[in-house]
Amino acid sequence: MSAQASKKLLNVLKGNQEAVPPIWLMRQAGRYLPEYRALRAEKGGFLALAYDSDAATEITLQPIKRFGFDGAILFSDILVIPHAMGQDLWFETGEGPRLAPRLAESRLEEFVPAPERLNPVVDTVRKVSAALPAETTFLGFAGSPWTVATYMVHGQGSKDQAEARRMAHAEPERFAGLIEAIISATVDYLANQIDAGVDAVQLFDSWAGSLSPAQFQKWVIAPNAEIVRRLKARNPNAVIIGFPKGAGGKLAAYAEGTGVDALGLDETVDPHWANRELPKGLPVQGNLDPMQLVAGGPGLEARVHDIIDGLKGRPHIFNLGHGVTPETPIPHVERVLQALRSHV
């Protein structure tokens, strides 16, 4: 059997079912792991780690070594794209990312592109690809254009993405130009990740839930569809997961409109509803509540089984509804793995 054929997670992404759903967790490499905290204390801040290919390789591999997940996800950040487009990027301790100058007060044309900033990330892909066990699926990723644009406009994360939403309504041509620039940079970036060794890529649209249906079609579905189209034109074998967090009832339209190969479900989605309403045979990923993973309690295993049962008969990758949080106890992750692998 070839290494490719033995990758259970990749097999599911290609539309096949496994007896036990393969598993990886968003943000599975991070602050809840003592080995990550030790490396970060030695090397410095988050961005320094992400751009140090040896450190980023080690971090990507840490959860595979500890838990034996079926998938490894590249250790990086969605905001490396605006950084490569010429916006300054840094992380404030305890507060998260900052970007400057904010596009709410500046023009994209004023930025000096710096695509070489992505070189260390692609180097990380090559190193991880060479080091992973043959059965482990390697996932790359990028942020989707709408979510990346909200950070570029606001200069940081925002509660309701008001400045980006306002710009999209008031200056649609200007905003469309920003979205197109992000699409172009993202397609190049993901194509380079695939060429360097990832098996599949995920498009994170963390703020997709803040848009009205018409705006969702314009700024979420259409741009992601264009990324899928261009990426598959460059690499017909590209495998793409879409994760429009908060899309809810618009998930079926997203799946049909974007042409993604698989769909991530956040924790607000009922697996039974998703199984009934989403296109037949479409692989799905999710969707344990990250806070239930933190809390543990007697209901944790029951919820794992309910999610698996709710998506029965459909290709399914077990995951969270969003990322692992820093306060997550490691024994709770181990309980999820045990429940998953003992499911009958």
Task: Report the pLDDT value the prediction gives residue 343, as an integer from 0 to 100.
Answer: 87
Judged against a pLDDT cut of 60, whether residue 1 lies above it is answered with: no
Helix (H, G, I), strand (E, B) or coil at 200: strand
pLDDT tens for 15-48 read 999 999 999 999 999 999 999 999 999 998 899 9
CATH of 8-341, one of 1.10.3730.10, 1.10.10.60, 3.20.20.210, 3.20.20.140: 3.20.20.210
Judged against a pLDDT cut of 80, whether residue 5 lies above it is answered with: no
* pLDDT range class, residue 93, cuts 50, 70, 90: confident
The answer to whether the beta carbons of residues 212 and 250 sit under 8 Å apart is no
CA–CA distance, 161 with 136 (Å, rounded to integer): 36
CA–CA distance, 339 with 344 (Å, rounded to integer): 10
The answer to whether the beta carbons of residues 249 and 303 sit under 8 Å apart is no
CA–CA distance, 198 with 203 (Å, rounded to integer): 14
Helix (H, G, I), strand (E, B) or coil at 82: helix
Task: Report the pLDDT value the prediction gives residue 4, as an integer from 0 to 100.
Answer: 57
Show which residues are catalytic.
Answer: 27, 31, 40, 77, 151
Task: Report the pLDDT value the prediction gives residue 94, as an integer from 0 to 100.
Answer: 81
CA–CA distance, 148 with 200 (Å, rounded to integer): 20
CA–CA distance, 88 with 102 (Å, rounded to integer): 9
Judged against a pLDDT cut of 90, whether residue 222 lies above it is answered with: yes
- Average pLDDT (108-112) is 96
pLDDT tens for 256-304 read 999 999 999 999 999 999 999 999 999 999 999 999 999 999 899 999 9
Give the percent of the chain with pLDDT over 70. 98
The answer to whether the beta carbons of residues 9 and 71 sit under 8 Å apart is yes
> How many angstroms from the chain centroid is the CA of residue 244?
10
Cα angle, residue 127 at apex, residues 125 and 132 outer, rounded to 5°: 90
* DSSP-assigned letter for residue 23: B
- Average pLDDT (98-110) is 96
Host H or E run for residue 333: helix 330-341
pLDDT tens for 178-220 read 999 999 999 999 999 999 999 999 999 999 999 999 999 999 9
In which region does residue 86 sit, left (phi positive, over 0), alpha (psi from -120 to 50) or beta (all else)? left
Q: Model-level pTM?
A: 0.97
Tokens of 88: 């300054």
Task: Report the pLDDT value the prediction gives residue 95, as an integer from 0 to 100.
Answer: 84
CA–CA distance, 322 with 328 (Å, rounded to integer): 13
CA–CA distance, 47 with 34 (Å, rounded to integer): 19
* DSSP-assigned letter for residue 209: G
- Average pLDDT (320-328) is 97
Task: Report the pLDDT value the prediction gives residue 2, as an integer from 0 to 100.
Answer: 47
Mean pLDDT (the chain, rounded): 96
| Number of other residues whose CB lies within 10 A of the CB of residue 159 | 7
236 prior amide bond cis, ω within 30: no
